[in-house]
Amino acid sequence: LPRELSSYALLSLLIIECSTGFICGGFYKCATLVARQHSHFVLSQIQFIKCLSLFIEPLLVFLICTHNTIAEWRVVFLIHGALLIGGSCMIGFELY
């Protein structure tokens, strides 16, 4: 989006963050219900992947956003979007 439409970008980001916040509780509850007696292992793997992503993310930003321009940040957000959509599609096709 161009700079003149920055309020639309902020609104989209707020909608995305709110929807992510709404599903957090259900995600862990679903993992516990599906895994049953193995829920401790499943939840530990989820936490491990979250920790890995917390270490990899700053590296991704450091490598891509060398000059801190809008075009570089656009690449970072597009990578995140592609990963989220790809992961959602994999889960969606697996469940149905």
Q: Which domain holds residue 76?
A: 3-95
Q: How many domains does the chain have?
A: 1
- Find the distance separating the first CA and the last CA of the chain, reported in whole Å: 35
Residue 24 — pLDDT band, cuts 50, 70, 90? confident
Phi, psi torsion values for 2, nearest 5 degrees: -70, 165
Q: How far is CA 20 from the centre of its chain?
A: 8
Compute the distance between CA of residue 45 and CA of residue 43 in angstroms, rounded to an integer.
Answer: 5
pTM of the model: 0.58
Work out the average pLDDT over 64-91: 90
**Helix-helix angle 6-35:39-64, to 10 degrees:** 150
| pLDDT for res 93 | 78
Work out the average pLDDT over 73-81: 92
| pLDDT for res 95 | 61
| pLDDT for res 23 | 76
> How many residues appear in the chain?
96
